[in-house]
Amino acid sequence: MLAAWVDGAPAGAISLDDRGLHYGDGLFETIGASHGQARFLGAHLARLMHGCVALSIPAPDAARLRSEVTRAAATAQHVIVKLIVTRGAAVERGYAFSGSEVPRRIVCAYPWPEGPAGDRAPARAAMAELRCARPVLAGIKHLNRLEQVLARQEARQRDLDEVILCSDAGFVTGGSMTNVFALIDGRLVTPHAAQCLVAGVVRGQLLGVAARFGIPTGEQSLTPQAMQSADALWLTNARVGLWPVASFGTRVFAAHEWTPRLQGALHAAAVEAS
């Protein structure tokens, strides 16, 4: 970690009574930053505010969050800023919150060695064995991430870059750390936000960028079979940006001409949105 702050002050620790630790009672954003500019910061803060509403956490002041993320973004040339908002210190013991807790802001700056233009080998992916369905929390970037921890372990054990998760109903909910896009019949499709484990910021930006390129997009239920027979697959998150998929189970994908175009457009959009 390069640096960290709690409620705006440099800090290395958090009080033991924080509900973020006890229950995962909070939210986070992972934000890429280059040359002091936090990428898609407005969209990240908007999602955080949406999550605060969903969890009845009083929303922190957005201008203050923006300034604290921007300070963290300046700690190196390329930085991953992690912004955590917990419900704060427990007022009472137990799961119930009183409503008088004071939310806590934690900002951590990490090195982002590869930066936004990171040139990584296309991803080897497959469906996960692990199932994860948390309909109440769909789309929210909360602190309860054990399924993702276990899914990353599965990916490592199977020597994959990413595993794709599926709901009980058999629909794709996303990768363990990414959102999923498929090129099907000339359309760039991705699961509905309400079906996603996390409604990714880069996911939302890519839908916008593609539309500007004149590429038809769609949010729809996506099955593993549809991914298997797609013309191309991509994964997105704040760190990897747009990551083409080299293989999905037994299916192998060739490089697709849209990959560099969409990567370039995403990069341009991030600079605009900073």
In this structure, what token pair is assigned to residue 188? Answer: 């760039």
**CB hemisphere CA count around 270 (13 angstroms):** 28
CB of 25 to a second copy, least distance (A): 5
**In this structure, are residues 241 and 206 in contact, taking their beta carbons and an 8 Å threshold?**
no
CB of 208 to a second copy, least distance (A): 26
Rounded to whole angstroms, the Cα distance separating 237 from 240 reads 6
CB of 94 to a second copy, least distance (A): 7
**In this structure, are residues 197 and 136 in contact, taking their beta carbons and an 8 Å threshold?**
no
Interhelix angle for 41-55 vs 258-273, to 10°? 80
CB of 272 to a second copy, least distance (A): 27
- Which of 273, 246, 274 has its CA nearest to residue 259? 246
Nearer CB in complex with a second copy: 16/63: 16
In this structure, what token pair is assigned to residue 222? Answer: 């996506």
CB of 4 to a second copy, least distance (A): 5
Nearer CB in complex with a second copy: 133/226: 133
Count the Cβ atoms, other than its own, within 10 Å of residue 64: 12
Nearer CB in complex with a second copy: 165/265: 165
Residue 185 neighbours by CB under 8 Å, 6+ apart? none
Nearer CB in complex with a second copy: 138/210: 138
Residues that bind a second copy (CB under 8 A): 1, 4, 6, 11-25, 28, 55-56, 80, 82, 84, 86, 93-97, 106, 108, 110, 130-137, 142-153, 155-156, 168, 176-177
CB of 26 to a second copy, least distance (A): 9
Nearer CB in complex with a second copy: 151/230: 151
Nearer CB in complex with a second copy: 22/66: 22
Interhelix angle for 201-212 vs 41-55, to 10°? 130
